[in-house]
Structure 1
Amino acid sequence: MRQNPWMESARDVRQLPKAHLHLHFTGSMRPGTLLELADRYGVHLPDALRGGTPPKLRATDERGWFRFQRLYDIARSCLRSPEDIRRLVREAAEEDVRDGSRWLEIQVDPTSYAPRLGGLIPAIEIILDAVEGASRETGLGMRVVIAANRMKHPLEARTLARLAVRYADRGVVGFGLSNDERRGFARDFDRAFAIARRGGLLAAPHGGELAGPDSVADCLDDLRAGRVGHGVRAAEEPRLLARLAEHQVTCEVCPASNVALGVYDRAEDVPLRTLFEAGVPMALGADDPLLFGSRLAAQYEIARRYHGFTDAELAELARQSVRGSRAPESVRKGLLADIDAWLAAPPPGGVAGTGS
């Protein structure tokens, strides 16, 4: 572990203004909410979801990924009404605000919710209404990234891309590609991403987590990604790191998730320093707090505790999250100014301007 000499007088990372760019819809649910909804609908939850502690996961093999996906699908089956959707989004926003998030881009595959919400278009509209309402109630800036499922046919992805563009004026800012990146090829979804880009949406596919650096390169080459979900495996290829840095492609890095899924054995093994020192912009994210047990501020604590990030460096990570977002320019400027103010304020027991 790389110790930070300023730990005892470090500023509170929950007070550090930041943007949250990698949070999945069902995965954002509070464990207590899952228990309540499961009881309401008579859904039998396995012990891994009822125990009050994160389940033990390791998705680096096919069996482990299947178990992770099964737990996620069971949790998602408890979201059955518009009120359930509104509750999930409102609570996710409340948790983000508590952790210092000022801007959230939540990712969702609406096809997974459509059967219980009256169809695909009603599902999208219910989700967008919930996001608009939660943003109004909590003061958190919120937008949506609509994601296609890599395990489904690329034609479905094209349909989703067209709908995502259609709802760009309702808060959809990006188009993603999720699920097991070891399945299929990114290029199979190139036409869907072309539709999304032509419609002004950010291309933000997953890559470089369960699969190696080639999957990050595929996101850049085949999908023209402006952001990459995860992307940490790029650390294994110096030329790819240089490319990400040169083009300032933000990687949505989720340290707790990487360890929970077995991508790295320990928090200190996640290559945060490698990416940071190579100049690759990062936006730390919580991914699926329901299954991984930690939210946004905890990712910054990992950077501090296990990688020796100083407060000045944590502030720079927060700036990178803001720059990588689709927040309006006025929101960005305000956030960047507030990050500077956080850093300028004296730390507990310290003196402002120490760079701690």
Structure 2
Amino acid sequence: MKNLPKIELHHHIEGAAPPSFIRDLAKRKSVDISKVFDESGGYAFTDFWHFLQVYEAATSVLQTPQDYHDLTLAVLQAGAEHGVIYTESFISPDFCGGGDVDAWRDYLAAIEAAANTATRDFGAQMRCIVTPVRHFGPDKARASALCAAETVGEFVVGLGMGGDEKAGKPADFAYAFDMAREAGLHLTAHAGEWGGPASVRAVIDDLRVERVGHGVRAIEDPALVDDLAERGIVLEVCPGSNVALGVYQTWADHPISKLMERGVKVTVSTDDPPFFHTTMTAEYENLARHQDWGGSEFATVNAVAVDAAFCDAETKDALRQKLEGAYD
């Protein structure tokens, strides 16, 4: 499993930071974030909302473009060790310059430089999905969307939205998504993790997204499942994250296979891998073990991921060549 080529579309750059990286950076900056870690040195949290607090505390030590350069390189190297050949990572201007366009350009340049190094050294490509944080509110989302619109190109390919699904309504963020759409960016948004199937319907109707982050609780609404399948809307599914946070109690309970059987297009990603003690290898091993997946299912989710990726056609063709025959 480890060496098989894999495509990952749902990935938070800060959430992928190895705990040792954050701990060392905090030490160098004399920032006390000891409560972020458990006794074994991993990230410590009790539920999703505590996880958001720990995430933001850990992110607080990432203060300069150089910090994000080093983080990006470390994260892409870690992914490449598990066969990840292409990643679309959520990156928020709120954490990278506070939503100021000029500051965002500096952070983005550092991140892209690291991504180029990773492509050269590890064969791991990356694209950026600019990501407003939902519980920071619509005004900050507009600032993030402006950052995205001003830097759209080969590297900045989309706008997403993460954070607390219970904060406000998707319609509150329609202006930001309309701005991004007009700038030529692709669109995705988190839903159907904590907000239930109604939240999936809301991001589709109010934000007109092409993909949905998580989206798994759509399974609770058969009409919605049929609609997702008919419209070809792709779900960025993160099974290990869902199980770790208690959305589903076990891997066997997870509905990813049922969604596939109903014709919904799904992909597999790690979300925030060190927080949830997972890797892309672990995701695949658990799907094989608990959902009886074989080469056909893994080939399908990777083919869906390439088709749904926000990158250019030339990059997609190169990825298809790397995947060809890998799961026979």
1:255-334 → structure 2 map (5 Å cutoff): 255-334=239-318
Matched with 1:354 is none
Indicate whether 1:140 and 2:129 are aligned. Answer: no
Matched with 1:5 is none
Matched with 2:94 is 111
| Distance in 1 separating the partners of 2:135 and 2:213 | 17
What root-mean-square deviation, in Å, do the aligned CA atoms of Structure 1 and Structure 2 show?
2.1
Matched with 1:51 is 40
Matched with 2:15 is 27
Percent identical:
33
1:274: Cα distance to partner?
1.1
TM-superposition CA deviations, 1:133-174 (whole Å, max 9, x none): 433443322110001111123132222212212211251111
Letter in 2 for 1:300: Y
Contact 1:16 1:318 in 2 (8 A): no
Contact 2:99 2:147 in 1 (8 A): no
Question: Aligned to 1:158, what secondary structure does the other structure show?
Answer: helix
TM-superposition CA deviations, 1:250-279 (whole Å, max 9, x none): 111111111111111112111111111111
Contact 1:249 1:281 in 2 (8 A): yes
Give the number of the structure with larger relative contact order, counting CA–CA contacts within 8 Å between residues 6 or more apart: 1
1:119: Cα distance to partner?
3.7
1:25: Cα distance to partner?
1.4
Letter in 2 for 1:310: G
Letter in 2 for 1:175: L
Alignment gaps of 5+ in structure 1 = 1-12, 60-64, 345-356
Matched with 1:230 is 214
Contact 2:19 2:43 in 1 (8 A): no
Alignment gaps of 5+ in structure 2 = none
Question: Aligned to 1:127, what secondary structure does the other structure show?
Answer: helix
Matched with 2:67 is 84
TM-superposition CA deviations, 1:310-352 (whole Å, max 9, x none): 12211111211211112332332333344331123xxxxxxxx
Q: How many corresponding residue pairs?
A: 326
Given the two structures, how large is their TM-score scaled by the length of structure 1? 0.86
Question: Aligned to 2:188, what secondary structure does the other structure show?
Answer: strand
| Distance in 2 separating the partners of 1:110 and 1:287 | 18
Report the structure, 1 or 2, having the larger helix content.
1
Structure 1 stretch displaced more, 75-84 or 230-239 = 75-84
TM-superposition CA deviations, 1:163-187 (whole Å, max 9, x none): 2122112511110111011110000
Question: Aligned to 1:111, what secondary structure does the other structure show?
Answer: coil
1:123: Cα distance to partner?
3.0
Question: Aligned to 2:274, what secondary structure does the other structure show?
Answer: helix
| Distance in 2 separating the partners of 1:151 and 1:116 | 15
| Distance in 1 separating the partners of 2:68 and 2:17 | 10
| Distance in 2 separating the partners of 1:336 and 1:120 | 32
Query: Displaced runs of 4+ in structure 1, greater than 6 A?
Result: none
Letter in 1 for 2:78: E
Matched with 1:209 is 193
Change (3 A) 1:330 1:121: closer
Matched with 2:153 is 169
Question: Aligned to 2:157, what secondary structure does the other structure show?
Answer: strand
Letter in 2 for 1:27: G
Letter in 2 for 1:303: L
TM-superposition CA deviations, 1:70-121 (whole Å, max 9, x none): 2111211121233321111011111221111111111011212325999444
Matched with 2:179 is 195
1:245-260 → structure 2 map (5 Å cutoff): 245-260=229-244
Matched with 1:4 is none
